[in-house]
Structures are given as structure tokens and as C-alpha cells.
Amino acid sequence: MRLADSWIDYKLIDSGNGEKLEQWGEYTLVRPEPQAIWPLQGDESLWKKADAHYFRSNKGGGYWEYNRKIPESWIINYKNLNFKIKPMGFKHTGIFPEQGVNWDWMIDKIEKADRKIEVLNLFAYTGGATIACTSAGASVCHVDASKGMVGMASENLILSKLQNSSVRWITDDVFKFVKREIKRGKKYDAFILDPPSYGRGPNGEVWNIETDLYNLIESIKELFSNNPLFMVVNTYTAGLSGTLLENIMKASLKKSVGGFVSASEIGLKQKYGEITLPGGTTGIWNK
């Protein structure tokens, strides 16, 4: 497992009983964590002191219960990158901290390329990978179906003092955008895919990772430049193991463009107990 162990403003304090206790800057939050099927490792009193607790609703979704007044949003940093944290519906905060290990890898690849890299970031959410790549000097096309998430990503770019970077902000269905880019003859050097298990585009387009991921990668190959650098694919689907993700990427990429494919879990080490919390699987193709 590859660990995101360079955080200072974020800490995974404890997990267990289907939840996790996290430190986000000055504030502590309790959120659902279905994979935490073990008992608590730290003292229960730590959990009672949390500033806010997200509870799932039997009717779907859920709600935050606050133990003290906290700001609607606040800022944390990862090295030289700054991100807006905001407790949102469906337990989200605006950042997946385990992705720090992938941000570091992409920054290193882009900086070592010693040339201008064009990145296509699909299902780009609030822009963690976009900000990381622009900080390394890349130009990024950021695509997400949610206008609100694209707006938050642009805020993160400004917070990181990268507002003069080359970024295209696109609110669109990923498949439709890729098809239009193919028709336009656009080419990119690097690709980031962070798809949900299931989702809908802005006009109701349906996404299912198990049936659509291979076809999307096949389409993206038509956008490869003459000297492509990497593709990073993140998955959080329990049924899509690292081996299956690696097989999908090999089947699509190895024969046609060569290179190397690997897949591994990413995760976070928590403070209490010898527990590492998995945060999904990342597949990587690079030459």
C-alpha cells in the first residue's frame, strides 16, 4: 500500500465501528467509514470531543450534528498547496487526503519531464490533482459534471496562488467532452481519472464504472500526444480490485501504446493502533 504520509494539517486519529475520527486543521470531524469494521483503537473520550459528527439518514443522505460552532469553511495546506475544507452533504469535506500520495507522484513525473505537459483531469471534483499538476508547471483541462465542484476547484487554485496558471474549467459529462475533444483533434500528455462507482452527468447521463471504464480509456487513447507521460485512474469500488483495474488498463493500453501498468491500494496510517485505512485503488500507466 502507498501511504499519504506527508500531511501536517490533516490527521487520521482513529477509526472503527464504521466511522473515522479526523483532524482537519483546527477542527475534528467524525464521518462514516464503511471499511472500518474493527473496534475503536483509541479512547472513546476522543470521539466525544469531536467538533462535528456526520450521521447517515435512513431516508438517504444524512446530516451534520455540531458540538460547537465552527466556520462554514476553512483552509488547510498540503506542502505548498492550499485547499478549502467545507463539511458538505453526503459526508464530504472537499478533499480526499489519501490522494496526497498521488499528487506527489504526478508532480515528480511532470517536473522530471522537463517540457510543457498538457493534462486532462476527468471527474476532477474540487481539483486536488489539478492544483498539484499546475504547481509543477503543467497546463490542465479540468472536467467535472458538477458546477459547484468546479467552482470550488477554481477557489483552491486561487488559494494556492496559482490563479495565473493555464487551466480550462469545464462543466460537462466526461464521455461527451472526450468525444468532442477527439473531433477537435486535441491531444494531451497526461490523464487523470477519478470516477465514482455510479454517477450522473449534468443532463442525466448515467455512469457505471464496471461497464464504462474500459470504454472510456479506449476513447481517451485517441487523445494521446506523440509522447504521452502517464495515466492515473482512481477507484473506490469495492468489487473492482487492484488486479481487475490493472487488467482493464493493460487490456486497453499495453498492446497499443506499450509502457508499464501497475495498481496498488492507497491509504492513511492512523494515530492509534497499528491500523492503515485503505482509501481506494490507484492504477498507473506510464512509459
8-18 per-position pLDDT tens digit: 999 999 999 99
- Domain's final residue, options 57, 91, 125: 91
Q: What is the pLDDT of residues 35-87, one digit of tens each?
A: 999 999 999 999 999 999 999 987 778 999 999 999 999 999 999 999 999 99
At residue 201, the pLDDT reads 74
Task: Report the chain's mean pLDDT, rounded to a whole number.
Answer: 95
| pLDDT confidence tier of residue 238, bands split at 50, 70 and 90 | low
The CA-atom distances, in angstroms, between 61 and each of 71, 237, 277 are 22, 19, 23
Same domain for 152 and 226, yes or no, is yes
Q: Does 193 share its domain with 157?
A: yes
Whether residues 106 and 187 share a domain: the answer is yes
pLDDT of res. 34: 92
* The three three-digit cell numbers of residue 245, written as one number: 483495474
H or E element, residue 277: strand 276-286
Residue 217 and residue 253 in contact, taking contact as beta carbons nearer than 8 Å: yes
Question: Do 42 and 152 sit in the same domain of this protein?
Answer: no
Please state which of the ranges 23-32, 52-61, 98-107 shows the lowest mean pLDDT. 52-61
CATH number at residue 135: 3.40.50.150
Place of cell 487554485: 157
Residue-range definition of the domain harbouring residue 85: 2-91
Give the domain CATH number at 71.
Answer: 2.60.40.1180
Question: Using 50, 70 and 90 to split pLDDT, how confident is the model at 259?
Answer: very high
**pLDDT digit string (tens) for 168-180?**
999 999 999 999 9
Same domain membership, residue 102 and residue 87 = no
Residues 58 and 135 in one domain: no
Determine the Cα–Cα distance for residues 87 and 63; give it in Å rounded to an integer. Answer: 10
Of 72, 91, 110, the position where a domain reaches its end is 91
Angle at 279 between CA 275 and CA 283, to 5 degrees: 125
Grid coordinates given for 172: 460537462
Mean pLDDT check: name the lowest of 58-67, 152-161, 174-183, 201-210.
201-210
Number of domains in the chain: 2
Q: What percent of the chain has pLDDT over 90?
A: 88
Residue where one domain finishes, among candidates 44, 63, 91: 91
Task: Examine the domain organization and report whether 35 and 169 are in the same domain.
Answer: no
Examine the domain organization and report whether 153 and 139 are in the same domain. yes
259 neighbors 285 (Cβ within 8 angstroms): yes
